[in-house]
Amino acid sequence: MNLLEMNPHETRYIPLIGSPIGGSTASYLYNQIFAAFGINAMSYPVEVKKGELPEFLAAVKFMNTPGCVLTSPTSRTSSSILTTWTRPPACSAP
């Protein structure tokens, strides 16, 4: 599935969050896998600094996302934030 075939109202968006995120090729690789298997999803990098993580996680609840990918430094710092939520967040650390 390519971008022209995707319906933006049905596409699942999967952010790759971290800081720094500019050099990561993970979103590109995930998008290649989604396309190869005809999955209507798109991954994209999002720069989220350590202090911005709670605010980002609150906002991501309202996105059309089944979850998100946390880079290694972000997943280590997010574990305490994610375990204090009363409602399961859209994003979770592996």
Give pLDDT tens digits for 8-25: 678 888 899 888 888 888
| Alpha carbons 34 and 14: distance in angstroms, whole number | 11
Give percent above pLDDT 90 in the chain.
17
With a CB cutoff of 8 Å and minimum separation 6, the contacts of 48 are 17, 18, 19, 21, 56, 74
What pairs with residue 42 in β-bridges? Answer: 13
The winner for highest mean pLDDT among 5-9, 25-29, 68-72, 83-87 is: 25-29
pLDDT of 30: 92
Quick one: average pLDDT of 52-59? 84
Higher-confidence residue of 62 and 83: namely 62
